[in-house]
Amino acid sequence: MIRTELTDDGVHVITLERPKVNALCVDLLDQLAQAAGRIASENPRAVVVTGGPKVFAAGADITEFAADPDPDSFELAAPGRVSEIGRAFLYGLGAVAGLPCPTVAAVNGFALGGGCELALACDFRVASEGARFGQPEILLGIIPGGGGTQRLARLVGTARAKDLVFSGRMVEADEASTMGLVDRVVTGDATEAALEWAGTFVAGPRAATALAKRAIDEGFDASISDGLALEQRLFVESFSTPDAEIGVGSFLRSGPGHARFDH
């Protein structure tokens, strides 16, 4: 259900492959967490997450919410099972969010519910013109459980997040871009554009980029004083990496823009 590959340009690609609409079941989310963990251990430079050319992920596998999915004898899953599903989302999407490098979601088609939340777990989102985003959980009488009330609000603001979550409505790529949910809208396959964008990070300093990502992500929810203190600690730490020796040395020898971080 999860396929991973490393392009010739040095970009790791995570592809969801669960016909027909990449519904996010517990097994797929567990595989996603494992794949992200393996990639993280390989000191990655950039990652693209995609669902392929037709659909990103249309949401959670709703059949897992039922102890008995038969309409005539329907019964909701027990609280323990619901907790298991919630943990799978927390760990799977958290593993993607925690990757120590730039991550780009390539969204073709639908990114709804858990699919939208997976896109939110990435640093950037590229969408095709036909992409659709939404958090429709409210239409099932439940709320998002994979970051839709948290990452979405931090990205687009509380009012816009409440609009999407309270209404359950879908938004097209252009509206998603206007509200800040999408970073780039492209004609054609979003994966190609995402790979191109991710490729721009490959030549950068891996250790310094990972520290910068950590400073931004961890500092965002802290007070300004705590965030600045974190930045200072990581700033000092950055000088202990090979990146600093390469970058500063190159600057003193040749000026800015000539460093090659190929270690």
SS3 for the chain, per residue? CEEEEECCCCCEEEEECCCCCCCECHHHHHHHHHHHHHHHHCCCCCEEEECCCCCCECCECHHHHEEECCCCCCEECCHHHHHHHHHHHHHHHHHHHCCCCCEEEEECCEEECHHHHHHHCCCEEEEECCCEEECHHHHHCCCCCCCCCCHHHHHHCHHHHHHHHHHCCEEEHHHHHHCCCCCEEECCCHHHHHHHHHHHHHCCCHHHHHHHHHHHHHHHCCCHHHHHHHHHHHHHHHCCCHHHHHHHHHHHHHCCCCCCCCC
Domain ranges of the chain: 2-202, 206-254
242 token code pair: 């090979």
pLDDT at 42 > cutoff 80? yes
Predicted TM-score (pTM) of the model is 0.95
Asked whether 114 and 24 are in contact (CB, 8 A), the reply is yes
pLDDT reported for residue 263: 60
Quick one: 2-202 is in which CATH superfamily? Answer: 2-enoyl-CoA Hydratase; Chain A, domain 1 (3.90.226.10)
pLDDT reported for residue 69: 80
- Domain 206-254, what fold? Lyase 2-enoyl-coa Hydratase; Chain  A, domain 2 (1.10.12)
pLDDT reported for residue 60: 93
pLDDT at 203 > cutoff 80? yes
pLDDT in tens, 78-127: 999 999 999 999 999 999 999 999 999 999 999 999 999 999 999 999 99
Phi then psi for residue 240, to 5 deg, are -95, 5
Mean pLDDT of 31-36: 98
pLDDT at 190 > cutoff 90? yes
> Any idea which residues carry the catalytic annotation?
60, 114, 117, 137
pLDDT reported for residue 71: 82
pLDDT reported for residue 258: 85
